[in-house]
Chains A and B, each alone.
Chain A
């Protein structure tokens, strides 16, 4: 790992929570990396989660998605979402105590142009139904990113033990 890869902040849930927000993110880095290990209490094996920047739920998130299950693959494009869809993570029907893992990479998060970023997430259930989602995403806002909110879908929660690690990367 590069020596410029610095942990900004982290949180490991000791109880359930519907969302986790990193606020007042310093603008002193070049890129941001958010690494997570997630499981929700949604009644499903695999779930979508939602990411927003700067508490902004305008329809200015777009993305191209690639999904794979090991036996099939598909792709979808969204152009005017009110959040960035992050897939796939474990739901309540996945094998007990298994967590999905994923990463968001946000280069040039303080730039004055739209922010392109990449993401992947994997749902793992120690069974045959594991799957992966890979996303090329865009946040069409020219403000620097100063907060990131990762939320479970409506009425659902991230379960205890889910973890969130935000890193900053400097290019020098």
Chain B
């Protein structure tokens, strides 16, 4: 696997440099990726829990989602 590249544009001189990422930058990126994935999984789990709770409530009430929308309005 090739080492990822970082590009830097010096806004004062206009100079553009390209260099490989440092080990610290790669580690920081990996930590960020892990956190992003954990957050995504947590959000999906929360959404699934809410959907399940909604389905159970609709079943308990004996109405469909469309009928619930009609009762409550679109807002």
Contacts and interface: CB of A to CB of B under 8 A. Distances in A.
B11 A18 contact: no
A16 B25 CA distance: 17
A48 B34 CA distance: 12
B9 A22 contact: yes
Interface residues of B, number: 28
Contacts of B11: 8-9, 22-26, 166
B29 A11 contact: no
A5 to B, nearest CB: 16
A76 to B, nearest CB: 7
Contacts, number: 82
A50 interface: yes
Interface string A29-40: 000000000000
A151 interface: yes
Interface in A62-121: 74, 76, 82-83, 85
B9 A83 contact: no
A154 B32 contact: yes
A17 B7 contact: yes
Contacts of B69: none
A21 B36 contact: no
Contacts of A74: 43, 47
Q: Which of A11, A20, A76, A154 is most buried by chain B, counting CB atoms within 10 A of its CB? A: A154
A157 B1 CA distance: 13
A57 B1 CA distance: 25
Contacts of A54: none
9 contacts: A9-B9, A17-B5, A17-B6, A18-B4, A50-B29, A50-B32, A82-B32, A154-B29, A154-B34
Interface of B: 1, 4-14, 16, 18, 21, 25-26, 28-34, 36, 39, 43, 47
Given A18-B4, A82-B32, A154-B32, 7 more contacts: A9-B11, A18-B29, A20-B7, A22-B8, A22-B11, A23-B10, A50-B32
10 nearest CB pairs, A to B? A18-B4, A154-B33, A154-B29, A24-B12, A154-B30, A21-B8, A153-B33, A9-B11, A19-B6, A17-B7
